[in-house]
């Protein structure tokens, strides 16, 4: 597959247009461990953004659990339209934002969020420049005291997802990538078995924002 000038928007729109949700390679009927981690760290009034949400069942489960301020964002308009149609019994609780994490525009204007959740999205950013854009956005959009949940293919996992190459991670690499504003507070390896019955080992990590207080002891004139 030649990825020079590849149209990723078309790729993902075609995937969501032509594949039944339950047949998607990343489909989870029960979106764990994400759901458990969000319930552990978020409050019911937290603003939670699901990065590269696709048509995942995660937001359905969060709405059922009474979370009230959700954002679903994705490159694929088709995916978000399907998700919005499915969740139409929860008016005003979810914002849908079509945007590209490699060149975010609308996402730069959202309110700060309490929880940033990403399962199987960051790993598609194979260029360091795009990864930096991703982490710049994350840094600018997370509240102080906020939590970040990142789930990506593990180092010993598959090299491709949806026929696209991925970067694989472990907790140490994600910790280094996330930078000095975040403290890794939890990580776990998780073997997801996809709808074809294949193993897809993931690494799940949770980060908390660090408050840096600078104390000057050099001058006691104040
Ligand atoms: C493997 S799917 C995972 C979907 C969902 N997070 C889940 O766990 O079910 C990857 C998702 O990332 C989205 N995506 C890929 N590249 C993206 C980009 N550059 N910006 C925004 N979304 C992107 C795709 O459209 C797709 O919905």
Residue 123 alpha carbon to ligand 1 centre in Å: 9
- Residue minimizing CA distance to atom 5 of ligand 1: 53
pLDDT in the model for residue 222: 40
Pairing of strands 94-98, 182-193: unpaired
pLDDT in the model for residue 80: 98
**Domains: count for the chain:** 1
In whole angstroms, what is the distance from residue 33 CA to residue 37 CA?
Answer: 6
Predicted TM-score (pTM) of the model is 0.95
Query: Token pair for residue 88?
Result: 């139409």
**Mean pLDDT for the stretch of residues 207-218:** 67
3-state secondary structure of 181: coil
pLDDT tens, residue by residue, 125-148: 999 999 999 999 999 999 999 999
Q: Is 219 a member of any domain?
A: no
Question: At residue 220, does pLDDT exceed 60?
Answer: no
Residue 116 alpha carbon to ligand 1 centre in Å: 14
**Mean pLDDT for the stretch of residues 171-190:** 97
Q: ω into residue 22 within 30 of 0, thus cis?
A: no
Q: Which of 19-23, 148-152, 208-212 has the lowest mean pLDDT?
A: 208-212
In whole angstroms, what is the distance from residue 219 CA to residue 214 CA?
Answer: 14
We report the CATH number of the domain holding residue 111 as 3.40.50.150
Q: Is 204 a member of any domain?
A: yes
Going by pLDDT thresholds of 50, 70 and 90, the confidence category of residue 48 is very high
pLDDT tens, residue by residue, 8-23: 999 999 999 999 999 9
What is the domain extent for residue 94? 8-209
Residue 119 alpha carbon to ligand 1 centre in Å: 8
């Amino acid at each position: 597959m030649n990825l020079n000038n590849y149209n990723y928007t078309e790729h993902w729109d075609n995937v969501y247009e032509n594949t039944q949700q339950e047949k998607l390679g990343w489909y989870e009927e029960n979106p764990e461990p994400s759901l458990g981690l969000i319930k552990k760290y978020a409050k019911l009034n937290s603003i939670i953004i699901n990065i590269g949400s696709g048509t995942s069942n995660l937001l359905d489960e969060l709405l059922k659990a009474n979370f009230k301020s959700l954002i679903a964002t994705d490159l694929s308009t088709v995916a978000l339209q399907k998700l919005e149609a499915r969740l139409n019994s929860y008016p005003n609780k979810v914002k849908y934002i079509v945007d590209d994490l490699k060149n975010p525009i609308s996402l730069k204007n959202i309110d700060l969020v309490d929880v940033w959740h990403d399962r199987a999205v960051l790993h598609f950013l194979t260029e360091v420049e795009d990864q930096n854009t991703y982490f710049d956005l994350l840094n600018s959009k997370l509240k102080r005291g906020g939590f970040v949940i990142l789930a990506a293919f593990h180092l010993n996992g598959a090299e491709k997802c949806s026929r696209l190459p991925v970067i694989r991670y472990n907790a140490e690499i994600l910790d280094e990538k996330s930078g000095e504003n975040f403290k890794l507070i939890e990580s776990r390896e998780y073997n997801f078995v996809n709808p074809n019955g294949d193993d897809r080992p993931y690494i799940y990590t949770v980060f908390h924002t660090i408050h840096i207080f600078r104390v000057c002891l050099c001058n006691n004139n104040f």
